Structure 1
Amino acid sequence: MRDRLRKFTAFTERLLPHETAYLMGHHQLEDADRIAILERVERNSREVSSFLPYDESIDKRKYHHLRHWMEKKLAAIDVDERHAWLLRLERLIVTDAIDQEDERQLLRAIRHYEHPGFYFMKFYEVLGHYRHFLQIRMRYRDHATVHDFLMTYADHYARSKEGYDRLHAVTQDVVEQYARRGGESWQWAESLEQVFLDGDMDGLNRYLALVRLTFVSFNHREYDRILVHFDRIDRAFRDGRNYSPRLLTNYYGNRMLLHAYRREYERAIYYGWLSVRSLNYDHLFYVNNLASLLLRLDRETEALELLQGAKQAAKTTVNSYNRIGYTAFYLEALLKTGRLEQAESYGESYLRAYRKEILRYRWHLFFTVYLLALLRRGQPTRALKVIRQFKLLDRDAAAANKPGYLPTIPTLAELARWREGLLTDKEFHASFRKRLHSLPEASEERERFAAFCRDLEPLLQ
């Protein structure tokens, strides 16, 4: 049956629960077969580990019709589709190439505009170009329509543009603290929240504010504060407001992180699998986050399968941060599934090819896993050479006071020295306990370091 309905099945496997919830709530289908198919589509979209086959006794043309209807229905509310349309019109207008049908649709969009649109700023800018186009051609009536719109919403545009530029300045503090565990960003929380809750602000600014508020809340572990806003946009997506597949996938990815921080792991994994269902620019980022969680929960087989499926994305990405993260998690998955020789070889090849990028971006994550691979392969001498070659202990000491720091590198260095006979049993075990107890009790750092120590057990015998 899957072969017979292969295209339809492939299409529905990419659909997301909020998309199908919207379709279920906004259809006027009367045919019982089409309704039954849509209900099955909605059920399958909510599942991440099971699939109920479609009824092949139903006329295949009904599947074809329903797929076309679903695509058209979702495209009609997709704000990114609308943005692409605006960009196309902008190019056509400034090159004097717009045709009558495009003009008709643009003028209709003005008449039916409901403020605030998601991409209000781009719509306003396109109309600014269009006003020039009309004026020089003495099309007075259409020019008056466009001019009136621009005058009516001039203050709204200025406010949105000012907010957009201000968000760029805020982002520097937010990203600095999130990526480097330094700096401060809490002072922006209230203003970001005000932008997100401002119903008169355009959707793009509200979305950008929420993303940055999410970072700030994660930085300061204010998880309940951001959960309230996530529930708000959850309802909006179900109603088809401010929707695109990209925005919805980003929501799933952030929701995964939120539930992981709250230690609601099953819910986190559920949203994680939803976040990797679609391929987009940030796909590898979502894969890395889900793989990291699966590995932390000792679900290494699932993590390895997930990472192997993202190999092409890792090869083609220009984002070194994501690529190095992928490599580290792939090495960890290989180690945890007993592929020790493969892990060592892969890590060595990657270090040889990308040493500058590793040292610049995610050296701590990469070297923690790579050194562990060398030790698991019985190569403490090689591990100590790598530590000296890349001055890892000096790098680690410089990072030791940053929030979220884990003493994995010095622990692995002492483990290598111990296995080489350079430390006595008493010295090594005393140092090992000291590092564990140096982390605050009941903290996320202590929990993560304890999990890391469990991975060392085969080397401590």
Structure 2
Amino acid sequence: MKLNKFQTFAESLLPHEVILLDNVKQFQDRERADIFDVLYHKVCNKDGKRCFDPKIDKRKYSHLMHWMQSRLDGFCTDQFYERLNYFDIRIKTDTISSDEENELLKLIKQYRPHHFHFIRFYEVVKNYLMFLLVRVRLNDYELIHKFVHDYHDDYVRCKEVGNRMTQATVDIVTDYHNLKISPNSMKWISWLTRLWNDQNLDGYNRYQTLILLSYVALLKNDALEEVLAYYIELEPQLEDGSYYSKKLLFNYYGNKQLILMKLKQYDQALYYGRLSISEQGNDYIMYLNNYCFNLSKLGRSEEALSLLIKARPFARQMSNKYNRTLFISSLMKCYNDNGQYLNSKQYAENRLSMYEKDILEHNWNKFFRTYMETLAQLGEFLKVKKTIRRFNLIDRESQFLKNYVSFPYFKWLLALANHKEGNISEARFWNGIEREMERIRTTYQIEPSKRALSLMKKCIGKNG
């Protein structure tokens, strides 16, 4: 094995994976221990000065790599869930082998309460019990019957929680999509908080609880610190493997980045954001959008643009319309942040022709706000007016503002276009905007977008 193969594997590891491996390692060989020590410092402490020793037998690197992957696979909740589904199919089709039965029996004997996928595990064991009974196989009956009996109440409760979680998710995600918290979400907060503090809950439901509380916190700023504390509370379960899968870690890092960004802790958020985009999984574009927004907040718009451009082929293949339209808006904004307004315009119009229906259904506000900014920067005010009218953006905005407190930016952009065409004076333009700003400030105690005001002042300062 070439050493660069091990280097590549080491670079793919996440900090919590290495900490998990560190907790279970029992190296007798000094050189293997030294290799792992270098790896630990590279991944967890970002110590780029330490290098792997090329003099150590390459076979030890190979053995260590296979040991690490094997141990991680053994902890992985996703792989465990797939194995449970496999057992269930084999049981129901009467094709389970003796070796597979022994493996399942071993899992039952070694079961620790409140496993991440306890609900599915219980269902498989119960099906296995019926499998044995109808075949009058009573050798392992007592063990399996005891498990089904002992955990029956836990199973019923976890199933009930899961069923209620569905409605909670509908209410909270709907509010999150509408960018406004309502009584529909608020009514779930105390219940979700009790669930989070319940150590007897199965891991899957408990993690879903954290996700929903995160959505609430992103809409309700006074809950941010409390929810961030929950992320810290989860660390031991990530480090001992009870809440481990690579996909779960990416989700943990991505959500934690959002909480930290909302708290304006952008540098710390960037660390978790970087981890969340370590691999191009199903949610890669969502995590990348958030990470690039964070980069822009820190004045690193060139880096953000480079990452988004590289991700364009991946984004084109996406089936998730919401994330794809969000990606389009993010890339347009990054073009604008880098002064590449022509690129932004070309990309926007190309994507609008391809995905008009999707854009109007998902993230239309972000897309057209950014597109209008692009056209205004290019001085194309006639096109601003035509676009606003073609897509009925004033009426759309009016309906939007009935449910979400904000400023009528499209109305202002239309007024700006009318002023630039000489239809209204500069004084009338600013008087109308200032009256609306004052009314909304007084009523809702919010401030308009500095970016929008800066754009209008810049455009007013231009000739004609």
TM over 0.5, shorter chain: yes
Q: Which residue of the partner structure matches residue 200 of structure 2?
A: 200
Aligned partner of 1:67: which letter? M
Aligned partner of 1:429: which letter? W
Q: Label 1:327 to 1:133 Cα distance change in 2 as closer, same or farther (>3 A).
A: same
Aligned partner of 2:107: which letter? A
Q: Compute the displacement of 1:16 (Å).
A: 1.0
Counterpart of 1:56 in 2: which secondary structure? coil
Q: Label 1:167 to 1:65 Cα distance change in 2 as closer, same or farther (>3 A).
A: same
Percent identity among equivalent residues?
31
Q: Compute the displacement of 1:412 (Å).
A: 2.5
Aligned partner of 1:165: which letter? N
Q: Label 1:303 to 1:153 Cα distance change in 2 as closer, same or farther (>3 A).
A: same
| Structure 2 CA distance for aligned equivalents of residues 456 and 313 of structure 1 | 35
Q: Does the CA contact (< 8 Å) of 1:117 and 1:202 recur in 2?
A: yes
Q: Does the CA contact (< 8 Å) of 1:296 and 1:451 recur in 2?
A: no
Q: Label 1:156 to 1:247 Cα distance change in 2 as closer, same or farther (>3 A).
A: same
Q: Compute the displacement of 1:393 (Å).
A: 0.8
Q: Which residue of the partner structure matches residue 378 of structure 1?
A: 379
Q: Compute the displacement of 1:444 (Å).
A: 10
Counterpart of 2:199 in 1: which secondary structure? coil
Q: Label 1:49 to 1:439 Cα distance change in 2 as closer, same or farther (>3 A).
A: farther
Q: Does the CA contact (< 8 Å) of 2:116 and 2:242 recur in 1?
A: no
Q: Label 1:422 to 1:10 Cα distance change in 2 as closer, same or farther (>3 A).
A: farther
Q: Compute the displacement of 1:309 (Å).
A: 2.9
Q: Compute the displacement of 1:31 (Å).
A: 3.1
| Residue of structure 2 aligned with 1:91, choices 85, 89, 94 | 89
Q: Label 1:438 to 1:311 Cα distance change in 2 as closer, same or farther (>3 A).
A: farther
Q: Does the CA contact (< 8 Å) of 1:22 and 1:238 recur in 2?
A: yes
| Structure 2 CA distance for aligned equivalents of residues 444 and 238 of structure 1 | 43
1:198-243 CA-to-partner distances (Å, cap 9, x unmatched) read: 1111111111111111112222111111122111002321232322
Q: Which runs of 5+ in 2 are unaligned?
A: none
1:270-302 CA-to-partner distances (Å, cap 9, x unmatched) read: 111111112322111111111222223332111
Q: Compute the displacement of 1:52 (Å).
A: 5.7
Q: Which residue of the partner structure matches residue 400 of structure 2?
A: 399
| Structure 2 CA distance for aligned equivalents of residues 81 and 404 of structure 1 | 44
Aligned partner of 1:23: which letter? L
| Structure 1 CA distance for aligned equivalents of residues 74 and 91 of structure 2 | 23
Q: Does the CA contact (< 8 Å) of 2:87 and 2:124 recur in 1?
A: yes
Q: Label 1:11 to 1:395 Cα distance change in 2 as closer, same or farther (>3 A).
A: same
Aligned partner of 2:127: which letter? H
How many pairs are equivalent? 457
| Residue of structure 2 aligned with 1:105, choices 103, 106, 118 | 103
Aligned partner of 2:88: which letter? E
Counterpart of 1:279 in 2: which secondary structure? coil
Q: Compute the displacement of 1:267 (Å).
A: 0.6
Q: Does the CA contact (< 8 Å) of 2:407 and 2:437 recur in 1?
A: no
| Structure 2 CA distance for aligned equivalents of residues 12 and 435 of structure 1 | 56
Q: Label 1:197 to 1:420 Cα distance change in 2 as closer, same or farther (>3 A).
A: same
Counterpart of 2:406 in 1: which secondary structure? coil
Q: Which residue of the partner structure matches residue 227 of structure 2?
A: 226
Q: Which residue of the partner structure matches residue 175 of structure 2?
A: 177
Q: Does the CA contact (< 8 Å) of 1:284 and 1:326 recur in 2?
A: yes
1:408-443 CA-to-partner distances (Å, cap 9, x unmatched) read: 3233222222222223222233345455555549x9
Deviates more, 1:134-143 or 1:98-107: 134-143
Q: Label 1:452 to 1:252 Cα distance change in 2 as closer, same or farther (>3 A).
A: farther
Is 1:336 the counterpart of 2:337? The answer is yes
Q: Which runs of 5+ in 1 are unaligned?
A: none
Aligned partner of 2:36: which letter? L
TM-score by length of 1: 0.92
TM-score by length of 2: 0.92
| Structure 1 CA distance for aligned equivalents of residues 409 and 379 of structure 2 | 18
Q: Which residue of the partner structure matches residue 33 of structure 1?
A: 31
Q: Compute the displacement of 1:33 (Å).
A: 3.0
Q: Which residue of the partner structure matches residue 217 of structure 1?
A: 217
| Residue of structure 2 aligned with 1:114, choices 94, 112, 115 | 112
RMSD: 2.4
Equivalent residue runs for 1:229-378 within 5 Å: 229-378=230-379
Q: Label 1:452 to 1:140 Cα distance change in 2 as closer, same or farther (>3 A).
A: same
Q: Which residue of the partner structure matches residue 160 of structure 2?
A: 162
Q: Does the CA contact (< 8 Å) of 1:294 and 1:302 recur in 2?
A: yes
Q: Compute the displacement of 1:371 (Å).
A: 1.4
| Structure 2 CA distance for aligned equivalents of residues 371 and 47 of structure 1 | 44
Counterpart of 2:187 in 1: which secondary structure? helix
Q: Compute the displacement of 1:23 (Å).
A: 1.8
| Structure 1 CA distance for aligned equivalents of residues 439 and 310 of structure 2 | 39
Q: Compute the displacement of 1:163 (Å).
A: 0.7
Q: Does the CA contact (< 8 Å) of 1:48 and 1:270 recur in 2?
A: no
| Structure 1 CA distance for aligned equivalents of residues 120 and 457 of structure 2 | 57
Q: Which residue of the partner structure matches residue 66 of structure 2?
A: 68
Q: Does the CA contact (< 8 Å) of 1:317 and 1:323 recur in 2?
A: yes
Q: Which residue of the partner structure matches residue 459 of structure 1?
A: 459
| Structure 1 CA distance for aligned equivalents of residues 294 and 433 of structure 2 | 25
Aligned partner of 1:309: which letter? K
Aligned partner of 2:189: which letter? A
